[in-house]
Structure 1
């Protein structure tokens, strides 16, 4: 038996000692299946070597290393398989969906896929410092510009958005005072200004900032305490001012109510005077019309009398008068009257009869 080397593996020792037989494995199907496996392996290798898959949320930028038209190609490749010759061409992929840059000291509160950097440390216009948590939402608009002016891979973050973010925030949010940060309208306005400032620098490089969102801001505990105390004093002042303004408004309201009541009373008196005047005008009108009617009636009666007198003065009037005088004398039993001379009585002479009975004085007309 051969001498065993102390460095031989234990398994080989057992094989030599016991002569263990190792079974031979055979590929099912013989040589055809072996060739099929080899062909499939070659195809998979060629697929991985020659084709690059660009995802739906990616841009593809091809760089030609050797051959015609070398350099970065302006054509932007979209989702799908793209042929890339190994050693001669190379495909770089850039994201096409919205990217998020989080400037925060609390990474657990940030988005999982976001790029996280330290919080923005900003000095306010009145000399205090504030830490601001900011979310910057942006996207790659022109991957060719990004690739040629910034670089491939994640350089659009490292050399693009990140170096420009905090300076733009300091330039815009730094215009606010300590108290202005609590004014949401002013804070949002400066955030929009920061977005526009970033776009001025990044648009020529193919990146567009969609939103700049200020999420949190924190002062030091001492400054925060001073701000809260000042806020409480300001609120007390505002409360007193509001109470004084409310008292003035209430007095003004009472004055307006009283003036309104006076105006209503005056209008009511004017209305009653108007009614009285109209009633008087109505009565005057009625009396005037009645007087006119009475005058017309009197005139008509006078006209009737006149017409009747005129009628009596006509032919046969003397006989009618005589008949009337005869009716007058019917009530006398006996009367002796002279029938001749100057005192003679003519029954038909009315004037003489009136003088005789002292009804008309002599000479009266």
Structure 2
């Protein structure tokens, strides 16, 4: 009887282990963009927690901190692939880190799904056949900002671009190039300065902008929260009437916690709907997030993590447990056609298109609340 009991326990344990689907993530959980990594992780885990209660197969997220450091990120991804033997990578954060991990991902033929990065390097399906994005690229966000500012009468010498000096900042700058070229405006007219990644040393870049001796009416900023907050505060002293336009990787609400007096002058693009929208997935996310993290606040970053996790699950749910492997996950991704995960629109992946969404929303904070805003409402003068 004792031997039978031991055998039964072994079989049950083996069965549980075989039904465990290991998913990997490398993100910044303690560095300068830890607000991105931690919230993406919580959003993913919120969805997995719900699915694990009703599914025979159990998702297990294995995550490592890369501190927004490309070297650590590459080490993490190798560990996840070779030691942990994860099926896919989900929700990795950071563009500089993606730049060094993509060759590893392509070499090992492991899917990377829904990274929190708008880097252009992730969006060429010909060279990166294993990366699949939910969000649009930063260059798309910035290009839309520049195009709309031009439509409102802003001239190139009234617009300044201030970015972090890495591939993240460069991805935003590409959007400016695209918008200028679409208008047949010489890219030599772009006014662009930078600050050093991992610092808040914005003074030198701002002083270089002052040297142009222009009356800037609008600034496009591609940076991280603390450096951006400091830049806006200092730039407002010299350009009190200027408007500031941020992209989705920056938390406009956090930035304006220290700059409440400027809330009418700061705007941000978003790549997910606001949590005030009456959409099925918004309701799901709020309920599931609070069940797992009752003391945490819902936000757009963890909402994106939730979206990415749901998109992944919807893609592979038709596979039998024994069919779930890296190769079949990629095949399923390429078969996705007109799938709506509750966002109010349908989209697809295929060999030529590795991006699920092309939506960009413009937002502002009003009386402490994030709101959608139309370009018609914005006065730049």
TM-score, normalised by the number of residues in structure 1:
0.22
Q: TM-score under structure 2 normalisation? A: 0.21
Of structures 1 and 2, the one scoring higher in RCO (CA 8 A, sep 6+) is 2
